[in-house]
Amino acid sequence: MSIPITRRTLLATAAATVLATAVIPLAVSRADSLARVDVYDRNAGEALPIYRHHGRRYVEGQPGNEYAVRIRNCTDQRLLAVLSVDGVNAVTGETASPEQSGYVIEPGGYVTVQGWRKDLERTAAFYFSDPEASYAARTGRPNDLGVIGVALFRERPVERQGWLSSDRRASSPPVREKAEAEAAGKAVDSRAASANAAAPAMQEPSLGTGHGRGEYSPVQQVEFERASARPDELVAIRYERRETLVAMGVLPQVRHGLRDPDPFPGALSFVPDP
């Protein structure tokens, strides 16, 4: 008998997906402690520089260029990475929530996600598009354009009973662990509230992510049990056109040939006839 999809995950070259219980949103991580997340411009063949501004991370997107999201596991255990683009889950196409499907990454490994997953063999390429041409806008969800999100989950350790023990209570977390998890959750929620209160007003997004060409990208389903219903870390990277980043103050205004004006720029001479 096949295992229901709600208990399985997708695996793509050291990566996979899973569904779990509902998750309360938490603060955006300030450092990639569990995983490193990069955005690669596939046309330029390079990782986009990340600019930090008011506690947020930004990359410059070139309209029309295809891109990929690379997530590298920096730990010694498997991680689940639930990827959202413009507020849409990149695996299921649902309005994104951390309890949905994502990619499982082996210890020290990485996954490069190049597009929206269409089935177990194909994806539709991510590319920087005009907002109205984005997949989210075309499916009636234009409110969260210009952001890539990764919710990271640790895997629950495999529990093994002792040879002489018949106590099966180990299947539920000890009281101390529950208390620590609840305390950590409250601290995370507090940081989220303060971060949202201090966040500056955002401009209208200048880019979205389109639903591009089909590509061969085979995956398979694997088992993964989350250690917690709450993400252990959440990473967000915003992307915009250069002119928008300049207007927001993320990038400096470039003035070509900027120098101090010279009141006498010419050589010594006399006034010629007209």
139 or 3, greater pLDDT:
139
pLDDT confidence of residue 208: 97
The confidence score (pLDDT) of residue 202 equals 54
Of the given ranges (25-34, 41-50, 128-137), which has the lowest mean pLDDT?
Answer: 25-34
- Strand, helix or coil at 38? strand
Q: Contacts for 155-162 with beta carbons within 8 Å, 24 or more apart?
A: 155/77, 155/78, 155/79, 155/80, 155/224, 155/225, 155/226, 155/227, 156/225, 156/226, 156/227, 157/227
Tell whether the model's pLDDT for residue 166 goes beyond 80.
no
Show the tokens assigned to 189: 């929620």
Q: Give me the percent of the chain exceeding a pLDDT of 90.
A: 60
Percent of the chain with pLDDT over 70: 68
Indicate whether 127 pLDDT > 60.
yes
Strand partners, 124: 116, 214
* Mean pLDDT (whole number) for 244-268: 76
pLDDT band per the 50, 70, 90 thresholds, residue 10: low
**How much is the average pLDDT of 106-127?**
96
Model pLDDT, residue 158:
75
Task: Specify the range with the lowest mean pLDDT, choosing from 82-91, 161-170, 198-207, 264-273.
Answer: 161-170
* Per-residue confidence (pLDDT) for residue 264, from 0 to 100: 72
Q: How confident is the model at residue 272 (pLDDT cuts 50, 70, 90)?
A: confident
Answer whether 158's CB lies under 8 Å from 152's CB: no
Task: Catalogue the E-assigned strands of 74-180.
Answer: 79-85, 88-89, 103-105, 110-113, 115-117, 122-129, 147-154
**SS3 labels along the chain:** CCCCHHHCEEECCCCCCCCCCCCCCCCCCCCCCCEEEEEEECCCCEECCCEEECCEEEEECCCCCEEEEEEEECCCCCEEEEEEECCEECCCCCECCCCCCCEEECCCCEEEECEEECCCCEEEEEEEECHHHCHHHHCCCHHHCCEEEEEEEEECCCCCCCCCCCCCHHHCCCHHHHHHHHHHHHHHHHHHHHHHHHCCCCCCCCCEEEEEEEEECCCEEECCCECCCCCCEEEEEEEECHHHHHHHCCCCCCCCCCCCCCCCCCCCCCCCCC
Boundaries of every domain in the chain: 5-157+169-248
Does residue 178 carry a pLDDT above 50? no
172: three-class secondary structure by DSSP: coil
Given a cut of 90, whether residue 66 has pLDDT beyond it is yes
